[in-house]
């Protein structure tokens, strides 16, 4: 059984979907740590409620990105973490973590990459007037949402969909697909 760390910055709905999948056995993994770059927020509340160990770290407390990531790696290694799952983590992973976890970091992104990488992908899709968006699960590399694609799912954008409605549709699909794809990777 893989021992994973989940990195998240915000609400933590994908974190919760992973926790729930582990509980029911559809994701055979142990969530050994939540890493957050924010010292408060819903994802931390979720980790506390689920009694999952968590670690909060602010890059502002370090001289540079290397020092920041070295502290994260130390926390991961001390808990024997084997795999990193990004779930709404709003920072680029740098070379220090990438070197320690080669081909062992995945991300979920709310667009059909390579379209609409980076922040506010849902808003970008709405503004572009596309009829289809979706989600992408991919390996993490040094670029922004540029790693090899593992899986994608298309989501139709209806003419009257708001950004919030599209976000809700994409998140519902993410909560089902992310645990399934991770289980495939781990088995």
CATH number at residue 102: 3.40.50.170
Residue numbers in the chain where pLDDT is lower than 50: none
Residue 120 lies inside a defined structural domain of this protein: no
Element containing residue 5 per DSSP (H, E): strand 2-7
Vertex 159 angle, CA 155 and 163, to 5°: 65
Q: What is the pLDDT of residue 41?
A: 84
Q: What is the pLDDT of residue 147?
A: 97
Question: Tokens at residue 171, please?
Answer: 């998140």
Q: What is the pLDDT of residue 40?
A: 85
Q: What is the pLDDT of residue 39?
A: 87
Q: What is the pLDDT of residue 61?
A: 94
Q: What is the pLDDT of residue 139?
A: 98
Catalytic one among 6, 8, 35, 109?
Answer: 109
**What is the b/e burial string over 85-124, where b = at least 16 CB atoms within 10 angstroms of the residue's CB?**
bbbbbeeebeebbbebbeebbbbbbbbbbebbeeeebbeb
Q: Which domain holds residue 102?
A: 2-112+137-150+175-186
Residue 40 lies inside a defined structural domain of this protein: yes
Against a cut of 0.75, is the pTM above it? Answer: yes
| Whether residue 138 lies in the annotated active site | no
């Amino acid at each position: 059984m893989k021992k994973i760390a989940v990195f998240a910055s915000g609400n933590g709905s994908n974190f919760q979907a992973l926790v729930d999948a582990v509980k029911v056995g559809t994701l055979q993994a142990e969530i050994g740590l939540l890493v957050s770059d924010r010292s408060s927020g819903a994802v931390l509340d979720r980790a506390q409620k689920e009694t999952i160990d968590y670690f909060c770290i602010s890059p502002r407390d370090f001289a540079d990105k290397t020092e920041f990531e070295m502290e994260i790696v130390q926390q991961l290694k001390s808990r024997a973490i084997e795999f990193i799952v990004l779930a709404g983590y709003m920072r680029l992973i740098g070379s220090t973590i990438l070197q320690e976890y080669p081909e062992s970091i995945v991300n979920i992104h709310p667009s059909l990459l390579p379209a609409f990488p980076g922040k506010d992908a849902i808003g970008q899709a709405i503004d572009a007037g596309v009829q289809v968006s979706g989600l992408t699960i991919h390996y993490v590399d040094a670029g922004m949402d540029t790693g090899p694609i593992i899986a994608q799912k298309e989501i139709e954008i209806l003419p009257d969909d708001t950004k919030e409605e599209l976000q809700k549709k994409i998140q519902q699909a993410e909560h089902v697909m992310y645990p399934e794809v991770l289980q495939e990777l781990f088995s």
